[in-house]
Amino acid sequence: MTLADVPVIPQLDLELRHIRKRYGDFVAVNDVSLQVGKGQFICLLGPSGCGKTTTLRCVAGLEEPDAGDILIGGREVTGEPPWKRDIAMMFQDFALFPHMTVAKQVGFGLEMLKKPKAQIAARVAEVLKAFEIGHLAERRPAQLSGGQKQRVALARAMVTEPRILLLDEPIGALDYSLRETVMLELKTLQKRSGISFIWVTHDQNEAFSLGDHVVVMNHARIEQQGRPDEVLSRPRTAFVAGFIQGNNVLEGKAGLVRDGVLEVMTALGTFRVPLLDLAPPAAGSALSFSVRAERLIERPGEDVPNRIALRCITVEYFGAFRRHVLEGAGGTVVKYDQFGALPQSIREGENIVLGWSLDNGVLHRAPPA
Amino acid sequence: MSTIRLRSPAAFWLALPAGLWMALAVVLPVLLIVWVSLWGGTSVSPNNPITFDNYQRFLSNQNYLWLIGDTLVQTAMIMAITGVLGYCIAYFLTVKVASPGWRVALFLAFVIPFWTSTLIRAIAFVPFLGVNGLLNQALMAIGLIERPIQAFLYSRLGISMAQVSLYTLLASGPVVYMLNSIPPALREAAMTLKAPPIIVFWRIILPLTLPGIVIGQVLVFLNVLADFITVTTVGGNKLAFLGNLILLFYEGSQIRATAVVSVLLMLLMLAGVTLALRVVDIRKIGG
Ligand SMILES: Nc1ncnc2c1ncn2[C@@H]1O[C@H](COP(=O)(O)OP(=O)(O)OP(=O)(O)O)[C@@H](O)[C@H]1O
Ligand SMILES: [Mg+2]
């Protein structure tokens, strides 16, 4: 595809077209394409080493992709250095300048834009106040707590109101009690400022609760992207289904298709899974599908088409839900989550039949041959 | 793990050997020199009266004042040259050489010559700078000059060239250390805040390496002030700085004058180090 084929959509804050980045023989980012609309909150999610940071650094201009195009606000910036891009970045360990006071630090970006001194002072004071760090203005980074450093780093990045803010695990360095509060604040801040956030994380709770759009990466590629509820309810690959907590991933072979419903033969038995928008796979080809653990039904009635005979191994109570780990034929493990603080209905060691209604089975795209 | 607190008995006993050594090897001789420099009379005896006459006599001699000034000018010049050169080398080694293997190789190539003694390195400059020396031959070979330049050896130029090459490592070592301790993310953060490379250097890198520069400068300052070997070997007997004066007086058995110049030299060094400590707090480095 050449540039001329693709219409430039000016309302996009960021567009990545088939980005590819190699380190020697190792491909760190492979064919990553992404469109970020105005003022969107994007979460890049994936296991360690899947290429999230590298993708972010390509957007920032800190790495140059080997192939592909990067457009910021509709303008091609692929070969441009970081200081010419309309972005700001928040680094994982904050990267505060140790020799500058908080005020100097936060004013740095404005100084670089050659704003008049008085204006910088006024704006810095305003931003420090908004971030509730006005009293720290004369301190140096060594005299700040982790949470305070985080605020300073954020204020420093946002003071110039860039089009896009890139955040590499911005709350990973904070302790748990602080994370929730900071997450809420950042989400509110993002909405109010209209700046697009690209937030890298390996924590799925973070990604699904914050993002308008979640991008799941694995092995340098994007596995799936979409609205959080879309990704949660319809994982498109076995990896995504397995990566997201609470999914049962079952592998099997394709059978016949009847009325848009595919028969899948697995070690646990034969199940009926809707095809939806997927093309019918060749009979006998390997595939997988998933069922969410809380969508299973205990002791299903005759009208439920998919049923499994299982033996309960352990029951764990998590407060919000009770998780049952069960084992079926061939040692296949199935999880069943029961929400709503109901009394325990399955004992450990008990044999039980679980089922799920037709539309709760999610068929995955065929794995690449 | 237990820690040793300041002012605890353990700290006292642990510090004692080093303290004793310092007292015997450094403080005592210095006190002795100061004492001798204050001797009146002409004999060598502990019963001499204490007076400032020796200082007055020395400092009222115009030639000696010139020599002090000249020594300081030479030192300042070497500090400036090694400072800039040393910084460039340090920057090149740590920032511009991307491959770790090359970095180590170049660094060793730079450092290993300094493992030999100062005297040997100073003497090695004689065949290099001489009339038929390597430098002259090389310049003639590439056709830059027709006749050998006499002025390299036994001249101020020669001494300066030798001193620059001898002391650049001192200026650059601490800078290498400071540069290495700057996290790459700082440079990148500055760039994403719209700072082009020159500004990144000026506003981030230079201030963060300042302690290294100052320490390097102190080392060069102390070494050039104390350097009489290079001055005698490369400079012949044509030139003298304060360090050579000490030797001269000593060889002339002028024990009081020797002590006076020594004390003055130490005072100069002390002043220089004090000034440097005002610029950076050495205790904060690495913290
Ligand atoms: N400068 C580099 N040279 C060589 N390989 C690199 C370099 N930077 C990253 N990589 C490799 O590229 C892959 C992707 O790295 P990246 O930092 O993007 O991962 P990540 O998704 O951010 O992981 P994490 O969640 O652990 O931060 C990793 O396997 C890493 O080893
Ligand atoms: Mg990362």
State which of A20, A29, A54, A223 you would mutate to test the pocket of ligand 1, scoring each by most atoms of that ligand within 8 A of its C-beta.
A54
pLDDT computed for residue A272 by the predictor: 93
- Asked whether residue B116 is assigned to any structural domain, the reply reads yes
| Domain end residue (candidates: A169, A204, A232) | A232
Domain co-membership, A221 together with A175: yes
Which residues are B194's β-sheet partners?
Answer: none
Mean pLDDT of chain A: 90
- Helices B156-180 and B118-129 cross at an angle (nearest 10°) of 130
Give the C-alpha separation, A208 to A269, whole Å: 33
CB atoms within 10 A of CB A248: 24
Tell me, yes or no, if A164 comes closer than 8 A to chain B by beta carbon: no
- Count of structural domains, chain A: 2
Of B189, B195, B207, the CB nearest to A95: B189
Please check whether residue A61 is in contact with residue A78, taking contact to mean a CB–CB distance below 8 angstroms.
no
DSSP structure class, residue A365: P
Closest approach atom of ligand 1 to CA A52? 21
- Asked whether residue A36 is assigned to any structural domain, the reply reads yes
> A54 C-alpha vs ligand 1 centroid, how far in Å?
6
Closest approach atom of ligand 1 to CA A54? 18
State which of A20, A26, A91 you would mutate to test the pocket of ligand 1, scoring each by most atoms of that ligand within 8 A of its C-beta.
A26
pLDDT computed for residue B157 by the predictor: 84
Phi and psi angles of residue B148, each rounded to the nearest 5 degrees, phi first: -60, 145
Provide the residue type at B92 as one letter. Answer: F
Tell me, yes or no, if A143 comes closer than 8 A to chain B by beta carbon: no
Please check whether residue B93 is in contact with residue B110, taking contact to mean a CB–CB distance below 8 angstroms.
yes
Q: Is any atom of ligand 1 closer than 6 Å to the C-beta of A51?
A: yes
The 3-class secondary structure across chain A, one letter per residue, is CCHHHCCCCCCCCEEEEEEEEEECCEEEEEEEEEEECCCCEEEEECCCCCCHHHHHHHHHCCCCCCEEEEEECCEECCCCCHHHCCEEEECCCCCCCCCCCHHHHHHHHHHHCCCCHHHHHHHHHHHHHHCCCHHHCCCCHHHCCHHHHHHHHHHHHHCCCCCEEEEECCCCCCCHHHHHHHHHHHHHHHHHHCCEEEEEECCHHHHHHHCCEEEEEECCEEEEEECHHHHHHCCCCHHHHHHCCCEEEEEEEEEEEECCEEEEEECCEEEEEECCCCCCCCCCCEEEEEEEHHHCEECCCCCCCEEEEEEEEEEEECCCEEEEEEECHHHCEEEEEEECCCCCCCCCCCEEEEEECHHHCEECCCCCC
Ligand with minimal distance to A62 CA: 1
- Asked whether residue A2 is assigned to any structural domain, the reply reads no
Nearest alpha carbon, ligand 1 atom 2: A23
Domain co-membership, A198 together with A147: yes
Q: Is the pLDDT of residue B285 over 60?
A: no
- Asked whether residue B16 is assigned to any structural domain, the reply reads no
> A242 C-alpha vs ligand 2 centroid, how far in Å?
21
- Asked whether residue B223 is assigned to any structural domain, the reply reads yes
- Higher confidence at residue B30 or residue A6? B30
Q: The complex's ipTM?
A: 0.83
- Mutate one of B182, B187, B188, B193 to test the A interface: name it (highest A CB count within 10 A): B193
Domain co-membership, A91 together with A141: yes
Q: How far is B16 from chain A (nearest CA, A)?
A: 34
Nearest alpha carbon, ligand 1 atom 12: A28
| Closest alpha carbon within chain B to A113 | B194
Look at A95 and B194 and tell me if their CB atoms are within 8 Å: no
Q: How far is A60 from chain B (nearest CA, A)?
A: 7
A131: helix, strand or coil: coil
Nearest alpha carbon, ligand 1 atom 5: A23
> A169 C-alpha vs ligand 1 centroid, how far in Å?
14
Domain co-membership, A192 together with A243: no
Give the C-alpha separation, A39 to A192, whole Å: 9
Q: pTM of the entire structure?
A: 0.82
| Closest alpha carbon within chain A to B287 | A142
Cα–Cα distance list, A62 to A94, B47, B100, B185 (Å): 16, 74, 20, 10
Look at B190 and A60 and tell me if their CB atoms are within 8 Å: no
- Asked whether residue A149 is assigned to any structural domain, the reply reads yes
Predicted confidence band of residue B286 (pLDDT cuts 50, 70, 90): very low
pLDDT computed for residue B284 by the predictor: 53
**A78's torsion region: left (phi>0), alpha (psi -120 to 50) or beta?**
alpha
**B199's torsion region: left (phi>0), alpha (psi -120 to 50) or beta?**
alpha
Phi and psi angles of residue A297, each rounded to the nearest 5 degrees, phi first: -115, 135
Nearest alpha carbon, ligand 1 atom 6: A23
Look at B192 and A87 and tell me if their CB atoms are within 8 Å: yes
| Domain end residue (candidates: A232, A259, A293) | A232
- Asked whether residue B260 is assigned to any structural domain, the reply reads yes
Nearest alpha carbon, ligand 1 atom 26: A48
A64: helix, strand or coil: coil
Give the C-alpha separation, A97 to B206, whole Å: 12
Of A62, A98, A112, the CB nearest to B193: A112
Q: Is the pLDDT of residue B140 over 70?
A: yes
Predicted confidence band of residue B228 (pLDDT cuts 50, 70, 90): confident
- Count of structural domains, chain B: 1
Tell me, yes or no, if A98 comes closer than 8 A to chain B by beta carbon: yes
Please check whether residue A246 is in contact with residue A337, taking contact to mean a CB–CB distance below 8 angstroms.
yes
Please check whether residue A216 is in contact with residue A222, taking contact to mean a CB–CB distance below 8 angstroms.
yes
Domain co-membership, A18 together with A89: yes
- Asked whether residue B217 is assigned to any structural domain, the reply reads yes
pLDDT tens, residue by residue, B72-126: 999 999 999 999 999 999 999 888 887 888 888 888 887 887 777 777 877 887 8
Domain co-membership, A179 together with A51: yes
Q: Which residues of B fall within a CB distance of 8 Å from A164?
A: none
- Asked whether residue A145 is assigned to any structural domain, the reply reads yes
Domain co-membership, A26 together with A165: yes
Structural domain including B148 reads: 58-286
Nearest CA to A208 among A238, A182, A229? A229
Q: What is the CATH number of the domain that holds A333?
A: 2.40.50.140
Per-residue pLDDT of chain A (369 residues; tens, 9 = 90+): 455 565 655 589 999 999 999 999 999 999 999 999 999 999 999 999 999 999 999 999 999 999 999 999 989 999 999 999 999 999 988 999 999 999 999 999 999 999 999 999 999 999 999 888 999 999 999 999 988 999 999 999 999 899 999 999 988 877 888 888 888 888 998 999 999 999 999 899 999 999 999 999 999 999 999 999 999 989 999 999 999 988 999 999 999 998 889 999 998 889 999 998 888 888 889 999 999 999 999 988 888 889 999 999 999 988 888 999 999 888 889 999 998 878 888 888 899 999 999 999 999 987 765
pLDDT tens, residue by residue, B184-207: 999 999 999 999 999 999 999 999
Of A89, A93, A99, the CB nearest to B192: A89
- Asked whether residue B45 is assigned to any structural domain, the reply reads no
- Asked whether residue A52 is assigned to any structural domain, the reply reads yes
A101: helix, strand or coil: coil
Mean pLDDT of chain B: 86
Q: Is any atom of ligand 1 closer than 6 Å to the C-beta of A25?
A: no
Closest approach atom of ligand 1 to CA A56? 18
pLDDT computed for residue B287 by the predictor: 37
- Asked whether residue B144 is assigned to any structural domain, the reply reads yes
Give the C-alpha separation, B160 to B156, whole Å: 6
- Higher confidence at residue B197 or residue B158? B197
- Asked whether residue B46 is assigned to any structural domain, the reply reads no
Give the C-alpha separation, A83 to B191, whole Å: 5
Predicted confidence band of residue B1 (pLDDT cuts 50, 70, 90): very low
User: Who's near A74: CB < 8 A, 6+ residues apart?
Assistant: A8, A9, A10, A11, A12, A15
Q: Is any atom of ligand 1 closer than 6 Å to the C-beta of A89?
A: no
Q: Which residues of A fall within a CB distance of 8 Å from B185?
A: 91, 93, 95
Please check whether residue A165 is in contact with residue A88, taking contact to mean a CB–CB distance below 8 angstroms.
yes
| Domain end residue (candidates: A232, A249, A275) | A232
Q: What is the CATH number of the domain that holds B204?
A: 1.10.3720.10
- Mutate one of A72, A89, A110 to test the B interface: name it (highest B CB count within 10 A): A89
Structural domain including A168 reads: 10-232
Q: What is the CATH number of the domain that holds A23?
A: 3.40.50.300
DSSP structure class, residue A346: S
Phi and psi angles of residue B257, each rounded to the nearest 5 degrees, phi first: -65, -40
